[in-house]
């Protein structure tokens, strides 16, 4: 293939712009905000489940407390009733009096045991409330963190897109200076060789594969016409000569 030396130089400019675009695309894909947002999203899903579980536990404890309080109330009512009967003087038989007193004592013990249960449930309920509140606070904070991160991500992406837009415009200008046939070969090689289709020969080394060319190849290049499109024998990329090629 033939192409004017200036067109070959422009191909190197094109390669530089394409490399810049590849770097920008890579940066856009790997912005640290993306990983942080993913982590935070995962945590928010976890939190939703944890809040549901904690709220369920709290509801159970609220019911348990109510039930225990009702039990206390029932025993107290019964003890009050017995006490009134005792105080009324209507129970006269010694046997009945003794049995009534025994029941009042037994109800007193029962009431005290039930009150302990109420206290214990209340303590667990307070812990469950604190847990629900902590989880809700964390969920709120993660929502606001997420909003901040998304804003930062958007700004970062907009900056990259703007730079990519300018680079793409510049690229179009440079590409128009290179013959279509050479651009097509370059694109094909770029696809095959990790984004680098054309490289400079610098001090006897191909800057595509970074290998020093042997004397035979260098002599072949020295003998080639200026407008011959050369290829690196090692990596097959388009090799462009400059004043610093060491020829
Ligand atoms: Zn090479």
95 CA from centroid of ligand 1 (Å):
114
21 CA from centroid of ligand 1 (Å):
22
Digit-coded pLDDT (tens) for 219-230: 999 999 999 999
212 CA from centroid of ligand 1 (Å):
8
- Whether 79 and 104 have beta carbons less than 8 Å apart is answered as yes
CATH of 31-161, one of 1.10.10.60, 1.10.287.1700, 1.20.1070.10, 1.20.59.10: 1.10.287.1700
12 CA from centroid of ligand 1 (Å):
14
Digit-coded pLDDT (tens) for 168-227: 999 999 999 999 999 999 999 999 999 999 999 999 999 999 999 999 999 999 999 999
pLDDT tens per residue, the chain (247 residues)? Answer: 999 999 999 999 999 999 999 999 999 999 999 999 999 999 999 999 999 999 999 999 999 999 999 999 999 999 999 999 999 999 889 999 999 999 999 999 999 999 999 999 999 999 999 999 999 999 999 999 999 999 999 999 999 999 999 999 999 999 999 999 999 999 999 999 999 999 999 999 999 999 999 999 999 999 999 999 999 999 999 999 999 999 8
236 CA from centroid of ligand 1 (Å):
6
Q: Which of 138, 154, 152, 127 is nearest to 45 (CA)?
A: 138
In this predicted structure, what is the pLDDT of residue 69? 97
Domain boundaries, the chain: 5-25+179-241, 31-161
192 CA from centroid of ligand 1 (Å):
13
Q: Which of 218, 241, 219 is nearest to 229 (CA)?
A: 241
Q: Which of 244, 223, 193 is nearest to 9 (CA)?
A: 244
Q: DSSP assignment of 128-197, as one string?
A: HHHHHHHHHHHHHHHHHHHHHHHHHHHHHHHHHHHHHHHHHHHHHHHHTTS-HHHHHHHHHHHHHTTT--
Q: Which of 235, 238, 231, 227 is nearest to 183 (CA)?
A: 238
| Distance, CA of 192 to chain centre | 32
7 CA from centroid of ligand 1 (Å):
20
């Amino acid at each position: 293939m033939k192409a004017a030396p200036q067109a070959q130089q422009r191909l190197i400019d094109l390669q530089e712009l394409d490399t810049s675009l590849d770097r920008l695309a890579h940066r856009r894909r790997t912005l640290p905000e993306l990983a942080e947002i993913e982590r935070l999203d995962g945590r928010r899903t976890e939190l939703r489940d944890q809040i549901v579980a904690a709220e369920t536990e709290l509801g159970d404890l609220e019911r348990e407390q109510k039930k225990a309080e009702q039990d206390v109330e029932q025993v107290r009512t019964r003890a009050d009733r017995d006490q009134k009967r005792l105080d009324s003087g209507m129970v006269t038989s010694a046997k009945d009096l003794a049995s009534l007193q025994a029941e009042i004592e037994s109800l007193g013990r029962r009431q005290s045991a039930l009150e302990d249960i109420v206290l214990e449930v209340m303590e667990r309920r307070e812990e469950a409330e604190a847990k629900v509140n902590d989880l809700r606070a964390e969920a709120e904070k993660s929502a606001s963190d997420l909003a901040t991160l998304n804003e930062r991500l958007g700004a970062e992406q907009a900056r990259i897109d703007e730079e990519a837009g300018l680079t793409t415009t510049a690229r179009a200008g440079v590409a128009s200076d290179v013959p279509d046939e050479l651009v097509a070969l370059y694109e094909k090689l770029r696809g095959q060789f990790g984004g680098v289709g054309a490289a400079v020969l610098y001090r006897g080394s191909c800057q595509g594969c970074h290998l020093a060319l042997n004397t035979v190849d260098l002599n072949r290049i020295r003998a080639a016409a200026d407008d011959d499109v050369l290829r690196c024998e090692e990596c097959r990329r388009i090799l462009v000569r400059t004043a610093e090629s060491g020829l």
